[in-house]
């Protein structure tokens, strides 16, 4: 098994080891790069139509919209509701249940910080609080320059290298203030 | 009198026939299998603490208060989600359970405001009760933790508020909206500690909520509470009565503080609604004490005079003298009366008695003339009696539901909720309607077929359906052979099998694809129990009666009559349409639909009433108006009806009224017809009198007085006074005595009495020696007329045709928040949902006329023109436009014509050829209307009188 005390992004901040590509953490629903496309109702309707006949189509439809646009705006709700013959409230309920169905376009980069127990025990709350304060944003928000969105995650399975996070889908272990600062700089550059 | 406390079993009771015996707290109890432990305990009077459970909803199991111990089972299962089992031994109160429950309550209360003393639900709060029941004395967690106490209150709905900070997220409201109402307007937003009840991310008023009140009723805390309770406080007594809006006839508890209504709460024991309600009955009762109520009698010589306020004696005396003068001058037949489907059976019966015995003619008609008279004719001819065949509960056993010319979610919402529940369970749906009504497709309901026919082609379509039944071998031959007149069936089958009725042959008339007709027919004939529900889209046509017979033919041919789950059912528009018809309000029929020419019947009435009666039918409403215009009809007594707004071709109606010398209006408001009246007798609302209403399922429900008549007299007392002044003596101390007379004179009502209704809650006629407890399902072993009679139903197109001048077809109807002429609902907050009548028009027709959404348009027919706002709507098909008639100033019936059903004169409201074009001004009629609204409604002030 690979050593998880890593920053997996190739050639970036202080890499300590390469991530084993077969590691189970690869199944996390991470995003390689943040993708956000302008909302397009016609395109959205096509996507909804392509999944509408599935049994229990709401989740596949919402996943597909999120995949296409990077977020799911309020405008999507009546479209999905009407196509699936659900009430708007029902779609709203599903949409708001899952944090990953992001409601506004994200920044160019996304940092997910683990907020679960092991990381909490390893100083994550203070690290996150300071980071958010420095950026002047709250959980789920994006920096005004559009560089970085910070979101919470509830256990990434990286407990042995807490506190941990995901930066554009790549796991990062043993986070500290310096690593976070480096990530911010990285995000602002590209 | 006290507040009625209905038992809440926590979950629905098991419907199984198998009984199961178990022991709860040492006591044996026997209940139907599938009953929950919670409900079983309540059946023996043991309340298990609960918050998320209520018996209007399926068990949910989220609040963890109802835990019990069951011997031999591990842990502490929730009693709401645990079904009973034979031999089960349950303990509902143990030290372990007490600890658990107290712990759960501590968590709830750690995030709940502690303002019980000033809370709107103080004394009516299940959370408060539970805190008491479990002995909560302290909250170990304190109150300083994260909480929702700052959550904002949503007061956007006019009738109830949503105080989020008090919400315990038990989901009762969300589930009520789904399971009971079927609208799915509420959800739980977010998750975990952030979970909140939400009407879909918007406020209540802007949401999909239809304001039925089911969530408010389900809420165990103050979170969802009536604004009237917030302002007035807890009611102190309640009286069970019947709603005065539509023909569903919901039972309500009028919850009172003295003689002030605090709220109307649907009554679970009410058989028509079983604890459900809609925005009208539940909330829109404020009209009853609206400042526009006229509570003093008034008279005037000419309609252009201002009204003069007088005493009851003077008004009654004046009316009686005028009627006598007119009869002396113009003949016995020159006056008549109109009964109202808004009034009670007893009041209606008295008005027709007054006309027949007091006026000495049969010139009595009722507003059912303009709605369901074809139902009477059609069902009586084919099946033998003028009534729907089923009770409402029957729809829960239907496998195929056919909705024809009805819009239940708007017109009969509480029945629609029943229907939608059955549809969610898997029943199939066929909608036959020119418009795409909500039932065609709305959350969790989709019609298998929507046969979107052109207005005026009902009979062509029903014939095409029957043609498929006969030619594809879908006739239930055993049923027909056993139950129907065979010779009639054979001639009908030959008639209908003719190729001219084939779906392919009538496609060009109806606009409905032949393959859809065939598909829908196969579904109807082969899909199991098939039930037809229909509305005024069937009856208000030149062939309304033919269409009713066509539906009866179809049901007989497929064997869909005479058991639960099937039938042919009119959805009655008004609260007492069925009753007003039953009571002999027609010029040709005594109570119980017996012709006036029938000597035996007439003799019976003559003997009891001690007066000779005429054997020839009198005038129908349209005939009265025609005769008035011709100068032969001069006086009219109208109880609780507004023909100047509700009847077609308004200008003809008002011309008739203007030609009369004495029009007596008895109403709670100075309505449109009163502009042309000479005597105004103040009416009483349903809250001010005792009586009965009969709903669309023939159910006789009690109306109970909760306040004294505002004008001093109930409507039945006014009719008595008028009759006595005319010299025909009537004497009843109470409406129950009128019902006794009805029972004595009417075989189908022979077993009906207030005593019996009191004992049974309600009773469905026929109720007599053969059926002492009433008749939920008609025609079970034989049809009322003996054998079912097939009638030939040739399609004859209406003479109302589109052409170059009037190329569109107008059809009219109503919407959820408003009711008929709007006299009641316009005087409530319901108007916030519908402030004006609009014209729905298809985008294609709008575009070709340069009409944009919200534009003023002129709507013109050969009868007249009005102006109103356009709403572009895909519900419409090209070539068809739609409007409502709720607002007098719009004047929808200025446009409708005088064409009517061939058999019953029921007006053809549903088909009018019209033209639509943009305009920037009111129509001439509308301008005149506003002018007359000032000049013909003046009431003399004291200053005037002094002059």
Under DSSP, the state recorded for B63 is S
Task: Please compute the mean of the pLDDT values over residues B75-82 and round it to a whole number.
Answer: 97
Q: Can you give the CATH number for the domain in which A151 is found?
A: 3.40.30.10
Beta-strand relationship, B224-226 and B160-163: antiparallel
Query: Does A150 lie in the same domain as A87?
Result: no
Residues of A in contact with B198 (CB under 8 A): 89, 92-93, 96
Q: A63 and A125 share a domain?
A: no
Say if residue A31's pLDDT is above 80.
no
- What's the pLDDT at B157? 97
User: Contacts of residue A85 in chain B, CB cutoff 8 Å?
Assistant: 441-446
**Contact criterion met (CB < 8 Å) for B187 and A85:** no
Segments of B699-820 assigned E as strands: 699-703, 763-764, 808-813
Contact (CB, 8 A) for B464 and B503 = yes
Among B421, B379, B413, B416, residue whose Cα is nearest residue B397: B421
Average pLDDT, stretch B555-567? 97
- Residues in chain A with CB shorter than 8 Å from the CB of B184 are 86-87, 89-90
Judge whether A7 lies within some domain: no
Give the whole-angstrom CA distance, residue B567 versus residue B552: 9
B665: its two tokens: 């209006």
Percent of chain B with pLDDT over 90: 91
Chain B residue with Cα closest to A86: B443
On whether residue A114 sits in a domain, the answer given is: yes
In order of their start, the domains of chain B are 298-371+577-728 (3.40.50.740), 374-570 (3.40.228.10), 808-935 (2.40.40.20)
Question: Which residue range forms the structural domain that includes residue A49?
Answer: 41-97
Q: What is the pLDDT of residue A35?
A: 60
**Distance (Å) from the C-alpha of residue B188 to the closest C-alpha of chain A?**
6
Q: Is residue A22 part of a domain?
A: no
**pLDDT tier, B649 (very low <50, low <70, confident <90, very high otherwise):** confident
Residue A33 lies in a domain: no
Q: Are residues A137 and A185 in the same domain?
A: yes
What's the pLDDT tens digit per position in A113-144? 999 999 999 999 999 999 999 999 999 999 99
State the number of CA atoms in the 13 A half-sphere of A76 facing the CB: 31
Indicate whether B931 pLDDT > 80. Answer: yes
Average pLDDT of span B693-697:
95
Q: Chain B residues with CB inside 8 Å of A88's CB?
A: 200-201, 207-208
Respond yes or no on whether the N-terminal peptide bond of residue B754 is cis (omega within 30° of 0): no
**pLDDT for B487 beyond 70:** yes
Does A118 lie in the same domain as A90?
no
B275: alpha, beta or left? (left if phi > 0; alpha if psi -120 to 50): left
Which whole number is the average pLDDT over B86-105? Answer: 97
Shared domain check, A74 and A46: yes
What average pLDDT does the segment B298-322 reach? 96
Q: pLDDT band at residue B108, thresholds of 50, 70 and 90?
A: very high
Q: What is the mean pLDDT of chain B?
A: 95
Tell me: do A92 and A125 sit in the same domain.
no
Half-sphere exposure of B157 (CA within 13 A, CB side): 29
* pLDDT interval class at B650 (50, 70, 90): confident
Pairing of strands B160-163, B187-189: unpaired
pLDDT computed for residue A36 by the predictor: 64
Residue B184 is nearest to which of A74, A87, A97, comparing CB atoms? A87
pLDDT confidence band for A34 (50 / 70 / 90): low
Judged by a CB distance cut-off of 8 A, whether residue B181 touches chain A is: no
Residue of A nearest to B446 (CA): A85
Residue A17 is assigned to a structural domain of this protein:
no
Please identify among residues 22-51 of chain A the ones whose CB lies closer than 8 Å to any CB of chain B: none
Mean per-residue pLDDT, B870-897: 92
The angle at the Cα of B509, spanning B508 to B511, to the nearest 5 degrees, equals 65
Residue A25 inside a domain? The answer is: no
Task: Look at chain A and report how many structural domains it folds into.
Answer: 2
Q: Which residue has the higher pLDDT, B904 or A21?
A: B904
Residues of A in contact with B441 (CB under 8 A): 85
pLDDT digits (tens, 9 = 90+) for B156-211: 999 999 999 999 999 999 999 999 999 999 999 999 999 999 999 999 999 999 99
Find chain A residues with C-beta within 8 A of B169's C-beta: none
pLDDT for residue A25: 36
Pull the structure tokens for residue B386. Answer: 């003028």
Interface check B183 vs A, CB under 8 A: yes
B632 CB-contact burial (10 Å; exposed 0-12 / middle 13-18 / buried 19+):
middle
The string of pLDDT tens digits covering residues B372-382 is: 889 989 999 99
Under the banding of pLDDT at 50, 70 and 90, the label for residue A27 is very low
Closest chain A C-alpha to B823 CA, distance in angstroms: 32
In a domain, A24, yes or no: no
Q: Which of the two residues, B776 and B907, has the higher pLDDT score?
A: B776
- A58 & A113 share domain: no
On the question of pLDDT at A11 being above 70, the answer is no
A123 and A147 assigned to the same domain: yes
Give residue B213's pLDDT. 97
Range from B105-114, B809-818, B828-837, B936-945 carrying the lowest mean pLDDT: B936-945
pLDDT exceeds cutoff 80 at B49 = yes
ipTM score for this prediction: 0.92
One domain, residues A117 and A159: yes
Q: Within an 8 Å CB–CB cutoff, is residue A15 touching chain B? A: no
| Assigned domain for A55 exists | yes
Of A68, A97, A126, the one marking the end of a domain is: A97
Between A and B, how many CB-CB pairs are < 8 A? Answer: 57
Question: Which of B154, B199, B200, B423 would best serve as a mutation to test chain A binding (most A beta carbons within 10 A)?
Answer: B200
Residues of chain A contacting B443 with CB distance shorter than 8 Å: 81, 85-87, 90
Predicted local distance difference test score (pLDDT) of residue B311: 96
Clarify whether residues A129 and A180 are in a common domain. yes
User: Which of B689, B695, B632 minimizes the C-alpha distance to B666?
Assistant: B689
pLDDT of B688 over the 80 cut? yes
- Residues A75 and A124 both lie in one domain: no
Confidence of residue A15 (pLDDT cuts 50, 70, 90): very low
SS3 category, B788: strand
Kindly determine whether residue A89 and residue B185, on different chains, have CB atoms separated by under 8 Å.
yes
State the pLDDT at residue A32.
Answer: 53
Is A166 found in the same domain as A113?
A: yes
How is residue B150 written in tokens?
């700052």
Residue B221 scores a pLDDT above 70: yes
The answer to whether residues B653 and B644 touch, using CB atoms and an 8 Å cutoff, is yes
């Amino acid at each position: 098994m690979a050593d998880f005390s890593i920053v997996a992004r190739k050639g970036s901040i202080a890499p300590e080891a390469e991530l084993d590509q077969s590691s189970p953490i690869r199944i996390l629903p991470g995003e390689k790069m943040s993708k956000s496309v302008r909302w397009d109702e016609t395109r959205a309707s096509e996507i909804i139509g392509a999944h509408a006949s599935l049994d229990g189509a709401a989740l596949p439809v919402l996943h597909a919209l999120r995949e296409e646009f990077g977020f799911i705006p309020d405008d999507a709700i009546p479209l999905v509701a009407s196509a699936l013959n659900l009430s708007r409230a029902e779609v709203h309920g599903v949409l708001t249940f899952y944090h990953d169905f992001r409601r506004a376009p994200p920044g160019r980069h996304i940092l997910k910080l683990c907020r679960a127990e092991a990381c909490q025990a390893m100083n994550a709350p203070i690290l996150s609080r300071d980071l958010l304060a420095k950026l002047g944003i709250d959980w789920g928000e994006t920096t005004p320059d559009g560089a970085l969105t910070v979101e919470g995650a509830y256990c990434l399975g990286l407990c042995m290298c807490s506190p941990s996070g995901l930066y554009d889908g790549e796991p990062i272990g043993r986070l500290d203030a310096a690593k976070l600062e480096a990530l911010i700089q990285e995000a602002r550059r590209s | 009198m006290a507040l009625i406390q209905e038992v809440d079993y926590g979950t629905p009771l098991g419907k199984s026939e198998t009984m199961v015996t178990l022991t709860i707290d040492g006591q044996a109890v026997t209940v139907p299998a599938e009953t929950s432990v919670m409900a079983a305990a309540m059946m023996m009077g043991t309340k298990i603490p609960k918050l998320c459970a209520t018996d209007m909803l399926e068990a949910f199991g989220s609040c963890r208060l109802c835990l019990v111990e069951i011997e031999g089972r591990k842990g502490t299962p929730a009693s709401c989600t645990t079904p009973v089992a034979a031999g089960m031994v349950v303990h509902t109160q143990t030290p372990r359970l007490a600890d658990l429950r107290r712990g759960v309550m501590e968590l709830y209360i750690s995030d709940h405001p502690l303002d019980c003393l000033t809370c709107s639900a103080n004394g009516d709060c299940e959370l408060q009760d539970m805190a008491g029941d479990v002995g909560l004395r302290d909250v170990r967690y304190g109150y300083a933790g994260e909480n929702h106490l700052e959550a904002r209150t949503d007061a956007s709905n006019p009738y109830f508020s949503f105080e989020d900070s008090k919400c315990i997220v038990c989901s009762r409201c969300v589930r009520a909206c789904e399971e009971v109402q079927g609208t799915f307007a509420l959800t739980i937003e977010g998750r975990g500690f952030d979970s909140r009840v939400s009407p879909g991310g918007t406020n209540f008023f802007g949401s999909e909520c239809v304001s039925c009140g089911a969530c408010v009723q389900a809420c165990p805390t103050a979170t969802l509470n009536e604004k009237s309770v917030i302002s007035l406080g807890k009611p102190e007594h309640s009286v069970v009565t019947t709603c005065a809006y539509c023909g569903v006839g919901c039972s309500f508890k009028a919850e009172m503080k003295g003689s002030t209504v605090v709220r109307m709460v649907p009554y679970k024991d009410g058989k028509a609604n079983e604890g459900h309600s809609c925005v009208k009955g539940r909330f829109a009762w404020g009209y009853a004490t609206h400042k526009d109520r006229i509570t003093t009698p008034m008279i005037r010589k000419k309609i252009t005079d201002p009204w003069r306020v007088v005493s009851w004696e003077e008004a009654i005396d004046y009316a009686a003298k005028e009627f006598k003068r007119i009869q002396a001058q113009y003949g016995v037949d020159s006056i008549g009366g109109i009964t109202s489907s808004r009034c009670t059976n007893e009041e209606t019966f008295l008005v027709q008695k007054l006309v027949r015995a007091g006026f000495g003619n049969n010139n009595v008609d009722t507003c059912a003339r303009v709605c369901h008279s074809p139902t009477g004719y059609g069902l009586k001819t084919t099946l033998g009696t003028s009534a729907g065949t089923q009770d409402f509960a029957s729809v829960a056993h239907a496998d195929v539901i056919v909705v024809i010319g009805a819009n239940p979610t708007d017109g009969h919402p509480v029945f629609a909720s029943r229907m939608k529940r059955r549809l969610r369970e898997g029943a199939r749906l066929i909608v036959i309607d020119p418009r795409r009504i909500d039932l065609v497709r709305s959350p969790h309901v989709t019609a298998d077929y929507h046969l979107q026919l052109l207005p005026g082609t009902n009979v062509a379509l029903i014939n095409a359906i029957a043609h498929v039944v006969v030619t594809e071998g879908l006739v239930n031959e055993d049923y027909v052979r056993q139950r129907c007149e065979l010779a009639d069936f054979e001639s009908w089958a030959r008639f209908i099998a003719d190729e001219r009725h084939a779906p392919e042959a009538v496609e060009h008339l109806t606009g409905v694809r032949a393959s859809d007709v065939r598909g829908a027919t196969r579904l109807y004939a082969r899909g199991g129990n098939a039930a037809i529900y229909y509305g005024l889209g069937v009856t208000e046509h030149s062939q309304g009666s033919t269409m009713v017979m066509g539906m009866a033919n179809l049901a007989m041919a497929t064997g869909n009559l005479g058991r639960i789950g099937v039938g042919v059912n009119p959805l009655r528009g008004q609260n007492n349409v069925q009753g007003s018809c039953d009571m002999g309000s027609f010029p040709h029929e005594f109570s119980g639909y017996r012709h006036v020419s029938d000597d035996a019947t007439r003799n019976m009435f003559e003997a009891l009433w001690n007066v000779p009666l005429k054997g020839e039918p009198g005038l129908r409403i349209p005939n009265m108006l025609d005769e008035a215009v011709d100068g032969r009809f001069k006086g009219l007594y109208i109880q609780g009806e507004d023909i100047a707004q509700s009847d077609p071709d308004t200008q003809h109606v008002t011309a008739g009224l203007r030609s009369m010398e004495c029009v007596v209006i008895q109403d709670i408001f100075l309505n449109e017809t009163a502009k042309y009246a000479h005597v105004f007798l103040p009416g009483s609302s349903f809250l001010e009198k005792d009586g009965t209403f009969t709903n669309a399922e023939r159910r006789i429900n009690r109306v109970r007085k909760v306040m004294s008549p505002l004008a001093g007299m109930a409507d039945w007392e006014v009719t008595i006074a008028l009759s006595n002044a005319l010299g025909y003596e009537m004497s009843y101390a109470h409406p129950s005595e009128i019902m006794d007379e009805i029972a004595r004179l009417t075989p189908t009502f022979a077993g009906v009495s207030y005593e019996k209704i009191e004992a049974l809650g309600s009773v469905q006629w026929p109720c007599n020696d053969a059926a002492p407890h009433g008749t939920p399902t008609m025609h079970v072993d034989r049809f009322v007329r003996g054998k079912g009679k097939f009638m030939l139903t040739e399609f004859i197109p209406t003479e109302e045709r589109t052409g170059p001048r009037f190329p569109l077809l107008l059809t009219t109807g109503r919407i959820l928040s408003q009711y008929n002429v709007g006299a009641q609902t316009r005087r409530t907050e319901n108007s916030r949902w519908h402030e004006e009548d609009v014209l729905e028009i298809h985008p294609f027709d709008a575009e070709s006329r340069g009409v944009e959404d919200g534009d003023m348009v002129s709507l013109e027919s050969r009868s007249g023109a009005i102006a109103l706002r356009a709403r572009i709507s895909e519900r419409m098909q090209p070539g068809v436009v739609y409007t409502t008639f709720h607002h007098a100033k719009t004047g929808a019936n200025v446009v409708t014509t005088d064409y009517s059903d061939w058999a019953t004169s029921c007006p053809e409201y549903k088909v009018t050829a019209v033209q639509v074009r943009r305009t920037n001004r009111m129509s001439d009629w509308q301008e005149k209307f506003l002018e007359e609204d000032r000049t013909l409604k003046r009431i003399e002030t004291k200053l005037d009188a002094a002059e």
